[in-house]
Amino acid sequence: MMMMATGLLMVSCSSSSEVAERQEAKPLREHEKSFDPGAYRVAEQDTTTVVETETPAPETEEISWVERVRKIMGFRIQLHSTTNIDDAQEQLISLQSRLDSLDIAPARLDMSFDAPYYKIRLGDFLTKPPADSLRDLLHEHGVPEAWVVRDKVLQTVRERKR
Protein backbone atom coordinates (compact mmCIF):
# COMPACT_ATOMS: atom_id res chain seq x y z
CA MET A 1 0.00 0.00 0.00
CA MET A 2 2.80 2.38 0.95
CA MET A 3 4.66 1.60 -2.27
CA MET A 4 1.54 2.24 -4.30
CA ALA A 5 0.96 5.63 -2.62
CA THR A 6 4.58 6.66 -3.18
CA GLY A 7 4.40 5.66 -6.84
CA LEU A 8 1.13 7.54 -7.32
CA LEU A 9 2.63 10.63 -5.67
CA MET A 10 5.68 10.53 -7.94
CA VAL A 11 3.57 10.18 -11.09
CA SER A 12 1.25 13.04 -10.12
CA CYS A 13 4.16 15.40 -9.34
CA SER A 14 5.97 14.86 -12.63
CA SER A 15 5.63 17.34 -15.46
CA SER A 16 3.52 16.37 -18.41
CA SER A 17 4.81 19.08 -20.77
CA GLU A 18 7.78 18.41 -22.98
CA VAL A 19 10.96 20.41 -22.62
CA ALA A 20 11.47 22.77 -25.54
CA GLU A 21 14.59 22.20 -27.59
CA ARG A 22 17.41 24.60 -26.87
CA GLN A 23 17.90 27.24 -29.53
CA GLU A 24 21.31 27.58 -31.09
CA ALA A 25 23.27 30.22 -29.14
CA LYS A 26 24.95 33.15 -30.86
CA PRO A 27 28.69 33.52 -30.33
CA LEU A 28 29.67 35.84 -27.49
CA ARG A 29 31.35 38.27 -29.93
CA GLU A 30 27.96 38.91 -31.62
CA HIS A 31 26.38 39.79 -28.26
CA GLU A 32 29.27 42.13 -27.36
CA LYS A 33 28.86 44.14 -30.57
CA SER A 34 25.32 45.16 -29.72
CA PHE A 35 25.70 45.34 -25.92
CA ASP A 36 25.58 48.79 -24.35
CA PRO A 37 26.79 48.60 -20.71
CA GLY A 38 25.94 52.27 -20.22
CA ALA A 39 22.25 51.38 -20.25
CA TYR A 40 22.69 49.32 -17.07
CA ARG A 41 24.87 51.66 -15.05
CA VAL A 42 23.46 53.85 -12.34
CA ALA A 43 24.04 57.52 -13.09
CA GLU A 44 27.11 58.64 -11.20
CA GLN A 45 27.92 62.15 -10.15
CA ASP A 46 30.55 63.87 -12.26
CA THR A 47 34.05 63.28 -10.98
CA THR A 48 35.89 66.57 -11.14
CA THR A 49 39.59 67.19 -10.69
CA VAL A 50 40.60 70.81 -10.32
CA VAL A 51 44.00 72.07 -11.47
CA GLU A 52 44.67 75.74 -10.84
CA THR A 53 47.16 77.59 -13.02
CA GLU A 54 48.20 81.21 -12.74
CA THR A 55 48.67 82.97 -16.07
CA PRO A 56 49.83 86.58 -15.73
CA ALA A 57 48.30 89.03 -18.19
CA PRO A 58 50.43 91.66 -19.82
CA GLU A 59 51.39 94.50 -17.51
CA THR A 60 49.07 94.89 -14.51
CA GLU A 61 46.27 92.34 -14.24
CA GLU A 62 46.69 88.68 -13.24
CA ILE A 63 44.33 86.11 -14.73
CA SER A 64 43.85 82.73 -13.07
CA TRP A 65 42.55 79.70 -14.91
CA VAL A 66 40.99 76.57 -13.51
CA GLU A 67 41.01 73.34 -15.48
CA ARG A 68 38.35 70.82 -14.58
CA VAL A 69 38.36 67.23 -15.77
CA ARG A 70 34.89 65.70 -15.80
CA LYS A 71 33.65 62.23 -16.62
CA ILE A 72 30.66 62.34 -18.93
CA MET A 73 28.96 59.85 -21.25
CA GLY A 74 30.53 59.66 -24.67
CA PHE A 75 32.08 57.10 -27.00
CA ARG A 76 35.26 55.01 -26.99
CA ILE A 77 36.66 52.35 -29.30
CA GLN A 78 36.89 48.87 -27.83
CA LEU A 79 39.86 46.96 -29.22
CA HIS A 80 39.83 43.77 -27.14
CA SER A 81 37.78 41.95 -24.50
CA THR A 82 38.78 38.88 -22.52
CA THR A 83 38.23 37.17 -19.17
CA ASN A 84 41.95 36.45 -18.79
CA ILE A 85 43.96 39.27 -17.18
CA ASP A 86 47.29 38.01 -18.55
CA ASP A 87 45.90 38.01 -22.08
CA ALA A 88 44.50 41.52 -21.55
CA GLN A 89 47.86 42.87 -20.35
CA GLU A 90 49.68 41.29 -23.31
CA GLN A 91 47.13 42.74 -25.74
CA LEU A 92 47.42 46.19 -24.15
CA ILE A 93 51.18 46.24 -24.75
CA SER A 94 50.78 44.81 -28.25
CA LEU A 95 48.05 47.30 -29.21
CA GLN A 96 50.04 50.24 -27.81
CA SER A 97 53.04 49.41 -30.00
CA ARG A 98 50.76 48.73 -32.98
CA LEU A 99 49.04 52.12 -32.60
CA ASP A 100 52.42 53.86 -32.23
CA SER A 101 53.60 52.28 -35.50
CA LEU A 102 50.44 53.50 -37.29
CA ASP A 103 51.15 57.13 -36.30
CA ILE A 104 47.65 57.56 -34.92
CA ALA A 105 47.30 60.72 -32.85
CA PRO A 106 47.95 59.95 -29.18
CA ALA A 107 44.77 59.06 -27.37
CA ARG A 108 43.95 57.49 -24.03
CA LEU A 109 44.42 53.72 -24.26
CA ASP A 110 43.59 51.80 -21.11
CA MET A 111 42.30 48.57 -19.66
CA SER A 112 39.21 48.41 -17.48
CA PHE A 113 37.51 45.60 -15.62
CA ASP A 114 33.76 45.15 -16.01
CA ALA A 115 33.12 41.72 -14.46
CA PRO A 116 33.96 39.24 -15.84
CA TYR A 117 35.67 41.02 -18.75
CA TYR A 118 38.90 42.98 -19.07
CA LYS A 119 38.35 45.51 -21.83
CA ILE A 120 40.91 47.56 -23.74
CA ARG A 121 39.49 50.84 -24.99
CA LEU A 122 40.87 53.80 -26.93
CA GLY A 123 40.05 57.50 -27.02
CA ASP A 124 37.58 59.95 -25.54
CA PHE A 125 34.91 61.09 -28.01
CA LEU A 126 31.99 63.34 -27.09
CA THR A 127 30.12 62.43 -30.29
CA LYS A 128 29.97 59.26 -32.38
CA PRO A 129 31.13 60.43 -35.86
CA PRO A 130 34.80 61.02 -34.86
CA ALA A 131 34.84 57.64 -33.11
CA ASP A 132 33.44 55.99 -36.25
CA SER A 133 36.14 57.67 -38.37
CA LEU A 134 38.95 56.38 -36.15
CA ARG A 135 37.36 52.92 -36.08
CA ASP A 136 37.29 52.88 -39.90
CA LEU A 137 40.93 53.97 -39.99
CA LEU A 138 41.85 51.16 -37.59
CA HIS A 139 39.98 48.66 -39.79
CA GLU A 140 41.96 49.87 -42.82
CA HIS A 141 45.23 49.38 -40.91
CA GLY A 142 44.51 45.79 -39.84
CA VAL A 143 42.65 46.12 -36.55
CA PRO A 144 39.31 44.51 -37.53
CA GLU A 145 38.23 43.82 -33.96
CA ALA A 146 37.72 47.55 -33.17
CA TRP A 147 34.16 48.75 -32.55
CA VAL A 148 32.55 51.85 -31.02
CA VAL A 149 30.93 51.62 -27.57
CA ARG A 150 29.25 54.10 -25.22
CA ASP A 151 31.36 54.74 -22.14
CA LYS A 152 32.41 57.43 -19.67
CA VAL A 153 34.95 59.79 -21.25
CA LEU A 154 37.19 62.48 -19.81
CA GLN A 155 36.44 66.09 -20.76
CA THR A 156 38.76 68.96 -19.81
CA VAL A 157 37.12 72.35 -19.32
CA ARG A 158 39.21 75.49 -18.82
CA GLU A 159 37.50 78.35 -17.01
CA ARG A 160 38.63 81.75 -15.87
CA LYS A 161 38.92 81.88 -12.08
CA ARG A 162 37.01 84.73 -10.46
Which structural domain range is residue 134 located in?
Answer: 72-153
Is 84 inside a domain boundary? yes
State pLDDT tens for residues 51-107. 555 555 555 567 888 888 999 999 999 999 999 999 999 999 999 988 888 877 778
pLDDT at 155 over 80: yes
CATH number reported for the structural domain that contains residue 145 in this entry: 3.30.70.1070
Is 21 inside a domain boundary? no
Is 134 inside a domain boundary? yes
State pLDDT tens for residues 109-124. 999 999 999 999 999 9
The total of structural domains in the chain comes to 1
Is 28 inside a domain boundary? no
Is 98 inside a domain boundary? yes
Q: What is the pTM of this model?
A: 0.59
In terms of phi and psi (left: phi > 0; alpha: psi -120 to 50; beta: otherwise), the region of 70 is: beta
